[in-house]
Structure 1
Amino acid sequence: MRFVVIRHGQSANNLLESQTGASIGRHHDPELTDLGHTQAALLAQAVAAGVLPWQLTHIHTSLMTRAVQTAAPLADAVDLPLLGHLDAYETAGVFIDGEDGMPRTHPGATADALQAVSSRLVLPAGAGPNGWYVKPYEHDHQARAERARILIEGLREQHQATDVVALLTHGAFFQHLFRSFLGITAMTGWVTKHNTAISLFADEPLTDLTTMTARAIDWMPHLSEDLVST
């Protein structure tokens, strides 16, 4: 299989942190900024124009609003359904900051709100009129790593070996996806993943064993330098 892993465009929280250096005043489910929408549109145009080495067969997305907003123009550009995924969310999940300083989970966007972003969105069972996030606050790194492993394993079971699967996800969760794809059990560093950056992973028989290769990491052929953000 081949995987095209894409981070969402710049969100309001990304902009807040870049301006203040902190997350005070963050939104539990921020939308894209104007720059984020521009990044998403340019990503879609580039993919439709053939920038990828492979042609997408499926698109999966996190159900956080910023990911769906990024995925929507891509799905339109390549004329594919947009498959919502319950396990592709950012680390920690959807949460608000309590008055006592402790995080409180939030159910996330409603089905109606998400499908208003894209009529192509196919919601999974569990995404309903009151939201989709029902898990506790995800504070454990091991739980995040296990979720990444399960997500990749599930995509492999769902798709054919010849499929090219795009996954719209998040910067911190990408760290766990990266390690899971490449079989890295422990890593002290951080892999840079800019807004709408593309990472390519492919199963390739480089030896007598099946080997997964990272073809590109944090690749942004669709963005000029002035449109790059973190």
Structure 2
Amino acid sequence: MARKLLAGALVAVLVLTSGCLGFILGDTLSYSANKATVGDNALSEASYDKANEKQLNTERSFEVAGESRDVEVTHWVTQYEKSVGISGVAEGTVATFTVLSSPRFELAGESVNPLARYNNRQLVQKFVSGYGNVKNIQETDTRNVTMLGSETEVSTFTGTAQSNGASVEVNIHVTKVEHGDDIVVAMAVHPKQLDESENVSRLIEGVEHEGE
């Protein structure tokens, strides 16, 4: 039962869907992102495996300068998981790492993709708090890590994830960089009692982005 509760909480926190992205990004312009992944060496060192990879398409109508436009945007989401045993808690998937690439662009001189202006706290609020099953999110730490050749600030937050009536204390790590024509967001979630900070940093440093 504990295994199911923990796995359910982690999946509920970080499984991104086209509906969720549509809600977060709102009205956007029609562009396609290049895929972002994590290199094999970093995955091996951190003991993570690819869980899924998907292209997400969102369609929206929006107004700029008094004109309404219909737009389609393509994003890439790649998720990785770590499976270990934790005494008294669970044995199975206990940590997730997700990379999102989303196109950045302007319309009539205005930045259209709101991810470009979100800071780390806002990213957590949009991607995690919006699920409703994660409460009491507080920032606890920041550190600098290099992702895709740029030094970026990684923020760590704590929160309480709810799953099937049970509570799991989790750590959430998040950062982003603008690379090429895309915005690349990296986010990790794991139980607070499992120290994955170094592995998360390895994965962030190992992020690769097509079309560099």
Task: Tell me, yes or no, whether TM beats 0.5.
Answer: no
Larger RCO (alpha carbons 8 Å, 6+ apart): 1
Structure showing the higher strand proportion among its residues: 2
Structure showing the higher helix proportion among its residues: 1
* TM-score scaled by length of structure 2: 0.29
